[in-house]
Amino acid sequence: MAELVLRDQEGVGAVGGSERGILQRLRDTRELGIAVVAIAMFVFLAIVRTDTFLTTNNLIGVAQRISLLTIIAVGMTFVMISGEIDLSVGSMYGLLAIGLSEMLVTWGWNPILAMPVIILAGVALGFINGFITTTFGIPSFIVTLGMLALLRGVTLTWIRTPPFGRVGGWFDRIFGGYVWEIPAQVFWMVGVVIIAAWVLSQTRFGYHVYATGGNPQAAANAGIDIRRVKIACFMILGGLTALASCILIGWLHGVSRNHGTGYELDVIAAVVIGGTFLFGGAGSVVGTFLGATITGLLTNGLILLGFEQDTEQIAKGAVIILAVSLDTWIRRRQRIA
Amino acid sequence: MAEQVRSSIAADGADRRDTPLLEARGICKSFLHVQALQDVNFRVYPGEIVALVGDNGAGKSTLMKVLCGAHHADRGEIFIEGRPVTIRNPHDAQALGIAVVYQDLALVNQRDVASNVFLGREPKRGFGVVDKPRMVRESRQVLQRLKINIPSVYAQVGLLSGGQRQAVAIARAIHQGGRLIFMDEPTAALGVQEQAKVLKLIEDLKAEGTAVVVVSHNLQHVFDVADRIVVMRGGRNAGERIKSETTPEEIVRLIVGADRIRAAEVA
- Which residue, among B119, B125, B201, would best test binding to A if mutated, counting the most A CBs under 10 Å from its CB? B119
Check CB contact under 8 Å for B154 and A24.
yes
Nearest chain B alpha carbon to A225: B120
Exposure string (b/e) for B162-200, b if CB count within 10 Å is 16 or more?
A: bbbbbbbbbbbbbbbebbbbbbbbbbeebeeebbebbbe
Contact residues on chain B for A14, CB-CB shorter than 8 A: 149-151
Taken in order A274, A277, A279, A284, the sign of the CA dihedral is negative
> What backbone torsions phi and psi does residue B236 show, to the nearest 5 degrees?
-125, 165
**What is the complex's ipTM, to 2 decimals?**
0.77
Buried b (16+ CB within 10 A) or exposed e, A265-278: bbbbbbbbbbbbbb
Give the A:B interface size as CB pairs under 8 Å.
119
CATH number, domain containing residue B261: 3.40.50.300
Residues of A in contact with B94 (CB under 8 A): 223
Confidence class for position B36, pLDDT limits 50, 70, 90 = confident
Confidence of residue B7 (pLDDT cuts 50, 70, 90): very low
CA distance A266 to A316: 8
Task: Tell me whether residue B108 is in a domain.
Answer: no
Average pLDDT, rounded, for chain A: 85
In a domain, B113, yes or no: no
Alpha carbons B7 and B120: distance in angstroms, whole number: 44
Q: How far is A201 from chain B (nearest CA, A)?
A: 9
Measured distance CA(B15)–CA(A77) in Å, rounded: 61
Q: What is the pTM of this model?
A: 0.82
In a domain, B236, yes or no: yes
- Compute the distance between CA of residue B39 and CA of residue B41 in angstroms, rounded to an integer: 7
The DSSP output letter for A327 is H
Crossing angle, helix A140-158 and helix A111-136, to 10 degrees?
140
Asked if B164 and A14 touch (Cβ cutoff 8 Å), the reply is: no
Residue B11 domain flag: yes
Q: How far apart are CA A69 and CA A88, in angstroms?
A: 15
Closest partner CB to A215 (pick from B90, B100, B108): B108
Strands A178-179 and A182-183: antiparallel
Average pLDDT over residues B63-89: 88
Residues of chain A found within 8 Å of residue B141, distances taken between Cβ atoms: 6
Of the ranges A86-95, A152-161, B172-181, which one carries the lowest mean pLDDT score? B172-181
Question: A335 near B158, Cβ under 8 Å?
Answer: yes
> pLDDT over 90 for what percent of chain B?
16
Contact between chains at B154 and A20 (C-beta distance less than 8 A): yes
Confirm whether B107 is domain-assigned. no
> A70: number of CA atoms within 13 Å, CB side?
31
Residues A267, A273, A278, A280: is their CA dihedral positive or negative?
negative
Residues of B in contact with A282 (CB under 8 A): 110
Domains belonging to chain A, first-starting first, are 22-336 (1.10.3470)
Q: How many CA atoms lie within 13 A of B236 on its CB side?
A: 13
- Give the chain A residue whose CA is nearest to the CA of B161: A337
For chain B, give the secondary structure using H, E and C: CHHHHHHHHHHHHHCCCCCCCEEEEEEEEEECCEEEEEEEEEEECCCCEEEEEECCCCCHHHHHHHHCCCCCCCEEEEEECCEEECCCCHHHHHHCCEEEECCCCCCCCCCEHHHHHCCCCCCECCCCEECHHHHHHHHHHHHHHCCCCCCCCCCEHHHCCHHHHHHHHHHHHHHCCCCEEEEECCCCCCCHHHHHHHHHHHHHHHHCCCEEEEECCCHHHHHHHCCEEEEEECCEEEEEEEHHHCCHHHHHHHHHCHHHHHHHHHC
What pLDDT score does A205 carry?
94
Chain A hits for B143, Cβ within 8 Å: 15
Gap from A67 CA to chain B (nearest CA, Å):
27
Query: Greater confidence, A167 or A19?
Result: A167
Measure A117 CA to nearest chain B CA, in Å: 27
- In chain B, the residue whose alpha carbon lies closest to the alpha carbon of A14 is B149
Rank A83-92, B23-32, B35-44 by mean pLDDT and report only the highest: A83-92
pLDDT at B154 over 80: yes
Please, what is the angle between helix A111-136 and helix A89-101, to 10°? 160
Report the share of chain A in percent with pLDDT over 90: 45
- The pLDDT value given to residue A333: 67
Q: Does B80 fall in a domain?
A: yes
Task: Report whether pLDDT(B17) > 60.
Answer: no
Q: Min CA distance, B155 vs chain A (Å)?
A: 4
For the stretch A29-66, pLDDT in tens is 677 878 888 898 899 998 888 888 888 888 888 988 89
Predicted pLDDT at B1: 44
User: Is A203 in a helix, a strand, or coil?
Assistant: strand
| Domain limits for position B33 | 2-97+178-266
Classify residue B121: in a domain, yes or no.
Answer: no
**How many domains does one find in chain B?**
1
**B31 and chain A: CB distance < 8 Å anywhere?**
no
Q: Which of B1, B4, B9 lies closest to B40, judged by CA?
A: B9
Q: Lowest mean pLDDT: which of A80-89, A179-188, A230-239?
A: A179-188
B40: amino acid identity, one letter: V
Whether residue B206 is contained in a domain is answered as yes
Query: In whole angstroms, what is the distance from residue A256 CA to residue A263 CA?
Result: 14
